[in-house]
Amino acid sequence: MSIMIEVKDVVKTYKLYRKPTDRLKESVFPTKKQYHENFNALNGISFEINKGDALGILGRNGSGKSTLLKLITGVLSASSGTIKVNGRMSAILELGAGFNPEYTGRENIYLNGLMIGLNRSEIDTKMDGIIEFADIGSFIDQPVKIYSSGMFARLAFAVAINVDPDILIVDEALAVGDVRFQMKCIEKMKELKAGGTTILFVSHATEQVKRFCNRAVWLKDGVIEAIGESSEIVDLYEDYMKYNSGDNGESNMKTADSKVNDEIDPDMILPSNPDIVASITKVNINETKFKTFDQVEVQVDYEIYDKIIHGLLIGVALYTPDRQYIFGPNTYLEKINVPNTHGRHQVKYVIPRLPLLGGTYNIDVGLFNNEGIVCLDYKQEAAGFTVVNKYFSEGLVYIEHNWEVLR
Ligand SMILES: Nc1ncnc2c1ncn2[C@@H]1O[C@H](COP(=O)(O)OP(=O)(O)OP(=O)(O)O)[C@@H](O)[C@H]1O
């Protein structure tokens, strides 16, 4: 298997100054006193990425993710250690990076194409495809300084993913575009992945990493906390974040007293915002009070405004009021085909024997596409219920069990 990127013992040290004048003093009197402190944003990082890998990079704010990507793309240089890159790389780092604000969109496509090593005629053959993908109309011939952040994202993505890169690097940028554009990008990124392109992907949306990437690395305070199979690393990371993020989700607490929430116009009026491609219109639960082992039925009504949504899935998740995640199956993982064409649809989720013990529980419902990579609509705490029993056991769930008297 060929190694596309090799990162070895990499350290990146930034100089931190208490005041801007300290930086000035140091540059004016370089041999005198030091006015800075050294800070290692990356502290001895080593890993390899093979051809065709999609590597997700996880870590809380300030853990060193962007610094790592900037070193790999050569925007920054390492203080020590080595980075070897094998192949043509295109990257979407901070939005607007690599663009000249005075140039038009079209001129910036040339600029970017040349930067990643294409010649003029290669860019010419790809030009129409890039412009069509970006889909920003006549803005393509306007200077990019007048672009909105969404237009920037469209152009940056269109260029980066349509130039046949061997390595594609994406730093959070996907979050900027609208849902329809996100779907298009994911489709294209899947195509590239299938064709053997190596992808590095920073995202705070851990579900995207779990579903899109086969491997993941978790950075913590500038060192690798864990690296390996993406679903394992995401689980470890989420577990850590649950107890260390300072946000236990309590702000979203809601009691379970309503049978129906989030009802919208039943006559399928198209949404005024054309970026909405589908929505959950109604979530209905058969009861609000259950006993353990009762049957629970959750009916989900949804509408699709596009002609078809490829890879549509519905997920239903059970939570405690303090947002402890209990169970979250989805129709993709369980290979259930759900209607995905224009129109109004209804799906029922049934738990034949509820194993939960006494307490209050909430239900989230989500519509996603592409194996859950892009969220089309999400209703947090769309329904809720309580479980009340005569005292017969303790804990959260009833687990089937036996007792044996051995002596
Ligand atoms: N130019 C710089 N000078 C000094 N410190 C910097 C510089 N750039 C980044 N840092 C520091 O290095 C650390 C890592 O930053 P980096 O941007 O790589 O983190 P990140 O994981 O990408 O964060 P985020 O998720 O917020 O984008 C942070 O503590 C940051 O404050």
Pairing state between β 359-369 and 341-351 = unpaired
Select from 63, 200, 220 the residue to mutate for testing ligand 1; criterion: most ligand atoms less than 8 Å from CB.
63
State the Cα angle at 195 between 191 and 197, rounded to 5°. 95
Region of 91 on the Ramachandran plot (φ > 0 left; ψ -120 to 50 alpha; else beta): beta
One-letter identity of residue 373: I
CA 61 to centroid of ligand 1, rounded, Å: 8
CA 27 to centroid of ligand 1, rounded, Å: 23
> Phi, psi (5° rounding) for residue 277?
-100, -20
**What is the pLDDT, as a whole number, of residue 98?**
76
CA 94 to centroid of ligand 1, rounded, Å: 13
**What is the pLDDT, as a whole number, of residue 254?**
32
Establish whether this prediction's ipTM goes over 0.85.
yes
CA 67 to centroid of ligand 1, rounded, Å: 6
CA 161 to centroid of ligand 1, rounded, Å: 26
Q: Which atom belonging to ligand 1 lies closest to the Cα atom of 70?
A: 18
Residue 318 contacts residue 327 (beta carbons within 8 Å): yes
63 lines ligand 1 (CB under 6 A): yes
CA 42 to centroid of ligand 1, rounded, Å: 9
41 lines ligand 1 (CB under 6 A): yes
Whether domain 260-387 has CATH 2.70.50.60: the reply is: yes
CA 216 to centroid of ligand 1, rounded, Å: 20
CA distances from 217 to 68, 186, 213, 259, 338 (A): 11, 20, 11, 42, 34
64 lines ligand 1 (CB under 6 A): yes
Q: Which atom belonging to ligand 1 lies closest to the Cα atom of 64?
A: 18
Domain boundaries, the chain: 3-244, 260-387
CA 85 to centroid of ligand 1, rounded, Å: 22
Q: Which atom belonging to ligand 1 lies closest to the Cα atom of 63?
A: 21
**Closest C-alpha residue for ligand 1 atom 25:** 61
CA 3 to centroid of ligand 1, rounded, Å: 27
203 lines ligand 1 (CB under 6 A): no
Contacts of 103 (CB under 8 A, 6+ apart): 111, 143, 144
- Topology (CATH level 3) of domain 3-244: Rossmann fold (3.40.50)
Select from 61, 94, 200 the residue to mutate for testing ligand 1; criterion: most ligand atoms less than 8 Å from CB.
61
**Closest C-alpha residue for ligand 1 atom 28:** 62
**Closest C-alpha residue for ligand 1 atom 4:** 14
177 lines ligand 1 (CB under 6 A): no
Residue 207 contacts residue 230 (beta carbons within 8 Å): no
Region of 136 on the Ramachandran plot (φ > 0 left; ψ -120 to 50 alpha; else beta): alpha
**Closest C-alpha residue for ligand 1 atom 1:** 14
Residue 279 contacts residue 271 (beta carbons within 8 Å): yes
Going 7 to 10 to 16 to 20, the CA torsion angle's sign is negative
315 lines ligand 1 (CB under 6 A): no
Q: Which atom belonging to ligand 1 lies closest to the Cα atom of 39?
A: 5
Intra-chain end-to-end CA distance of the chain, in Å: 58
Residue 280 contacts residue 262 (beta carbons within 8 Å): yes
Greatest CA separation for the chain: 86
Q: List the chain pLDDT tens, one digit each, 407 residues.
A: 699 999 999 999 988 777 777 777 777 776 667 777 888 999 999 999 999 999 999 999 889 998 999 899 888 899 999 999 999 898 887 766 778 889 999 999 998 888 888 889 999 999 999 999 999 999 999 999 898 888 888 898 899 888 889 999 988 766 666 788 888 888 888 899 999 999 998 988 888 888 889 999 999 999 999 999 999 999 999 988 887 765 433 333 333 333 333 333 345 556 666 678 899 999 999 999 999 999 999 999 999 988 889 889 999 999 999 999 999 999 998 999 999 999 999 999 999 999 999 999 999 999 998 777 788 999 999 999 999 999 889 999 999 999 999 99
**Closest C-alpha residue for ligand 1 atom 6:** 14
One-letter identity of residue 342: H
